[in-house]
Amino acid sequence: MNNWNDVFSANLGKMMAIQIACGEFVVKNRNWNVDFDKGIITFGDDEYPLQFLGSEANSSNTWLWAWENINGFDDKIISLARSIKEKGKK
């Protein structure tokens, strides 16, 4: 794969399947909450470890990677984002 479009195209179906399964088997229309200090996301009474990749702003149609966020998140919740950054440099 030589460019972003190739990577995106090769993975879109897989990611959609994961997103749908997560909604059906994990979220289940329950209330949810993110606790960035504890590094967890909850759906109802179920807690899961959190990895924060970044955030999207619909008003400006922009994406901000977690490592650039001014809130200075703990490395434990942005380690996956940092790993993505390092792989992208290669």
pLDDT digits (tens, 9 = 90+) for 31-66: 999 999 999 999 999 999 999 999 999 999 999 999
How far apart (Å, rounded) are the C-alpha atoms in residues 61 and 5?
A: 19
Angle at 88 between CA 86 and CA 90, to 5 degrees: 80
**pLDDT confidence band for 72 (50 / 70 / 90):** confident
Q: How much is the pTM?
A: 0.71
**pLDDT confidence band for 90 (50 / 70 / 90):** confident
Which of 22, 48, 44 shows the shortest CA–CA distance to 35? 48
CB-based contacts of 63, cutoff 8 Å, min separation 6:
54, 55, 56, 57
Q: What is the mean pLDDT of residues 8-15?
A: 88
